[in-house]
Structure 1
C-alpha cells in the first residue's frame, strides 16, 4: 500500500521544500471535498456511538452488545457508579450469562521484570484468581489473589521466578476454573543481559484505535518488550462522571483486538487530557473539586497495571519510573499537578531529578503526554505555554549532569512528528511524538519554519518503536514509525554518544 504523499512528511533538502508545501496545499483543497473516514466521524460519547465504534472493525456478537447497553444504562445514571455496583444488577448479570462472560477484563500484562510480569484481571464479582504458567511442560501456579468490591473486582497477580529469555504459555483460573483467554496469551522474559530490545510507544488511541486488528497485529508481530501509552486511551471526555469513566474501560476490556494485544505485550500507561477530565483540562478544572481529581485517579489506578501511581493514595498523580531491558523509562504526569507556570508541580519535578540522577542507562526514555517542543500549535497545552522556565531547568539539569542516551517522547497533537531541539551548548535533544494510534487527523504535519523537523504524518494509523542494540563500544537506538500495514514510514539510528551532552554543558549555570 502506497501512502498518499499529502499524509507523510520526511525531512528533505531545501530544494524540495517548496514542492512539498505546494503538494500539501493541494491536498488540503482536495480534502475539503472528501468525506472523513468513518472512525473520524464518531466523536460522541453516547451509547449509539459507542456501539458503532465497538463494531467498527466487524460486527460483534449481539449478546456482548447487549452487555454494553445494559452497562451504559446503569452507569450513565450514576455519577459515582462502580463496576462492583453494576455486577449486583440482575439485568447485567443476566446479559453476562447470555454472552458467556465469566469475567470482565484481562488478562493485561504489566510490570515487566527480569523474571516475570504482573497479570491484571477484573472479575464478575468477588473471586479468587490464579495464574498457571507452563515452564518446560511443568505447570507453576501463582496466587490466589482475591478480588473484592473495594478494588472494583480487579486483581494483580505477580508472576515471578521464570527463567530469563523465554516465552511461556499461561492460563487464568477464577475460583479454580480455567477461563477462556486469547489464544495469543504468552509471557516473555528478557535475557539476563539483553543486548537487543524493542519498546513500542504511542498515544491518542482514544476509542477509535482500541479495536483496530491490523494495528494490534503489527505491534504483536514486532514482539516488543513493552508498550508505552502516553494518554488519551479508552476514556473520552467524561469529566467527573466516574460511572462513565468505568464504562469506557469496560468497553475497552471487551474489545477483541485490545484483549489480544495486552494478553501478550506488557503495557505501561499515563493519562492526558481526555482520559483525565476533558479536552485541555489540568489540575482541578473550574467547577470541580479535589475529590473529583482523586476520584478519576482511583478509577485510573484500578484500570491499569503500572509499577506505581505518582505519590499514591491521598496525593495522586500517575507518574512512575521503571527499567525495561537496557533502558530506564520515566513517565511523567502533566495533568494532575499542573499549575500556570509549573507544568509538573514542584514535588514531581524534584522526584524527576532524583530519578534522572539514578538512571543506569545506556538509554533513558523520558515521556511527556504533551509535546516537549513548541512547533506544533505553538506549544498549545504544553511546556511552551505553561512552563518554559521549567523545561529549561530540566534540559539544563540533563546537560549539566551529562545524562546520556535521553530520548524524549510525547503525544497529544494528533498525528506523529519528530524534531530535534537545538541547545545553546550545541547539543540537541531528539523528540519523537507518536499521537497516531487512533488514526486521527490533527494540526498541520509540517511548516516552513520547522527547520529541525524529522518527519510528520496525520490521519493514518501508525505506531512508534525504539530498537536498542548494545554493541561492545557505542550502543545504538533505531527509531521507526510504522504504518498499520507494517511498512516503515520513517527510520533513524542514533548512537548513545550522539545523545550525550558535551562536557562543556557542565559549565552551564542553572537558573
Structure 2
C-alpha cells in the first residue's frame, strides 16, 4: 500500500496525493471550534432567519422588515401561501418601499442548446413574458393557484451563445436582477462543466462561493438536497418563509438569474433530520403539502411521475443527468423496506437504458456507499438489495460512463466501490456547500477513499471532453477561492463495465 499523505488547514483535511491516497486522520474532534460561527444553527425561529439573512452581506433595513412581517403571517398558519402574504397591505407597502418588481427570481433551469426555462414569483396575479434574442416568449399567467409563480419556456436561441434577457410583467419591462443571461449548451464539448453539491441549508445560499461557481460558467448546477428549507415538518408557511429568505438575498439573485439549477431534496428540506416517507411526525398530508411548496419554489423540468416524488432526467450537453428522490417513496412497513420504491426503480432502469450522452450523472441525496456512518439513513440501512439490483443492472447491460454523486453526510468525500471482476464505480459526495462538518472526513478503514474534507465551504464539478476517441471527465473539488482541493481525470472506458 502506498504511503498516505494529507494537508491540513483551518480544521479541514484534504488529500494532496492522486487517486488511491487519502488522509489517515479524522477531521472532527468533539467540542471543536466552529470555524464559521454558524455551523450548529438549527431551524430556529425568526431570530435565526434574520441572523442567516445578514451573515455575509449587510442587508437593507426594509428587507429585514419584510422578513419580520412575512414571518408573522406565514408562521401563524401551516398552510399559508405567498398569495396570502401578499394580500396584507403592510407587506405590499414594504415591497414598494424596497423597489421590488418581483418577489422571487428570475431563476433559470432546463437549459438546452436552444433555450431554457425562466421562473419568477410576482407581487400579484400577472402575465409574465421573457424578451430575449429579438423575440418575446409568453405570456404565462401567475395566479393564486400557482402561488404567484410562472415558468416561461424560452426557445429559438443558438447553441453556445450568451443571451441577455428581460422580464415583462403585464407587458411592461421590469428592472433587471443580476446578470439575467442565458448561456445555451454548445454543440461540441471540449471543456463543458457541470457543477454539483448539497447541504447548502439556508446559510450557504448567501455565501461567496456562489460567485465563484458562477464565474466558472458551468452549464448547470445540480443541487442534491438540503437546500433553502430547514426542518419544517410539513409547515408550509415556514417553508415559504425559508424560500423568501433565499429570494431576498442579492447573492442568490445574481446566481439564479444566470445559473441553471436542477434541484432535489434530502431529509432537511423534505421534513427534518433522517425523516423519509410517511412517519409518525410527518403525515401523508404533510408530504403532499411539502411537495407542492417545492414544485412552486424551483424550476425543474419535471417532478417525479407528475403527482408524486421529485425524480427527473434531462440531458445537459455531454451528460445525461438522472436525479433520484430518496425520501418520498421510502416504505417503513416491516418486511417492505424500500429506498426508491418500485415505480421509481423501474423508471430508473428505463432511463439508464435510454441514455445517449457519453456520460451519465446519477445523483442521490444520500450516499451510495456505506463507508460513512455505516449506510445510516441510506441504501445500506433501507435497501441494500435494491442497491445491488441497481449495480448489477448497470453491469449486466454494460451501461457506460456512470458517475455517482451524493450528499447528506456533511463534508465531502470520494470513494470507489469495487465490484467483482475488477470493475469499480466512482462516487463523489459533495455535502459541503454549507460549510458544515460533524463526521470524520477520512478514516484509515476506508481503503477505497479518494479524498475527504470537513468544516469547509467547497463545491464540486465535472469537466467533460467528448472530442477525443475515449471521452474524458475531470472531477474537481474547489474551495470558495477557486483553489483545487482534489482533482482526478477518468475516461469513459474506465467507467464502463467489462
Contact 1:412 1:435 in 2 (8 A): yes
SS at match of 2:186: coil
Flag the structure with more relative contact order, 1 or 2, with Cα contacts below 8 A and sequence separation at least 6: 2
SS at match of 2:310: coil
Matched, 1:332 2:324: yes
SS at match of 2:196: strand
Q: Which residue of 1 aligns with 2:36?
A: 37
- Pick aligned residue for 1:148 from 131, 138, 143: 143
Unmatched segments (≥5 aa) in structure 2: 1-6
Shift of 1:237: 0.2
Counterpart mapping for 1:492-503 below 5 A: 492-502=488-498
Contact 1:334 1:369 in 2 (8 A): yes
- Pick aligned residue for 1:320 from 312, 318, 323: 312
Q: Which residue of 1 aligns with 2:483?
A: 487
Provide, for residues 138-165 of structure 1, a one-character-per-residue CA deviation record: whole Å limited to 9, x for no partner.
x321111110100000000011010111
**TM-score, normalised relative to structure 1:** 0.92
Contact 1:404 1:501 in 2 (8 A): yes
Shift of 1:247: 1.0
Q: Which residue of 2 aligns with 1:99?
A: 98
Counterpart mapping for 1:140-219 below 5 A: 140-212=135-207, 214-219=208-213
CA distance in 2, matches of 1:175, 1:471: 45
Quickly say closer, same or farther: Cα 1:178–1:494, change in 2 above 3 A: same
CA distance in 1, matches of 2:281, 2:8: 45
CA distance in 1, matches of 2:305, 2:120: 23
Matched, 1:230 2:230: no
Provide, for residues 171-196 of structure 1, a one-character-per-residue CA deviation record: whole Å limited to 9, x for no partner.
11112222223342210112234343
Q: Which residue of 2 aligns with 1:276?
A: 270
Residue-pair matches, total:
488
CA distance in 2, matches of 1:111, 1:87: 28
Contact 1:42 1:53 in 2 (8 A): no
- Pick aligned residue for 2:373 from 373, 377, 390: 377
Matched, 1:450 2:471: no
CA distance in 1, matches of 2:62, 2:447: 53
Q: Which residue of 2 aligns with 1:396?
A: 392
Instruction: From the two aligned structures, give the one with the greater helix fraction.
Output: 1
Contact 2:52 2:202 in 1 (8 A): yes
Q: Which residue of 1 aligns with 2:3?
A: none
CA distance in 1, matches of 2:397, 2:181: 40
Shift of 1:481: 0.2
List structure 1 runs of 4+ shifted beyond 4 angstroms: 11-17
CA distance in 2, matches of 1:32, 1:367: 33
Unmatched segments (≥5 aa) in structure 1: 503-511
CA distance in 2, matches of 1:111, 1:128: 21
Provide, for residues 362-398 of structure 1, a one-character-per-residue CA deviation record: whole Å limited to 9, x for no partner.
1000000000000001111100111100000000000
CA distance in 2, matches of 1:85, 1:476: 50
Matched, 1:424 2:420: yes
Contact 1:11 1:453 in 2 (8 A): no
**TM-score, normalised relative to structure 2:** 0.95
Quickly say closer, same or farther: Cα 1:28–1:356, change in 2 above 3 A: closer
Mean alpha-carbon deviation: is it higher for 470-479 or for 8-17?
8-17
Q: Which residue of 2 aligns with 1:507?
A: none
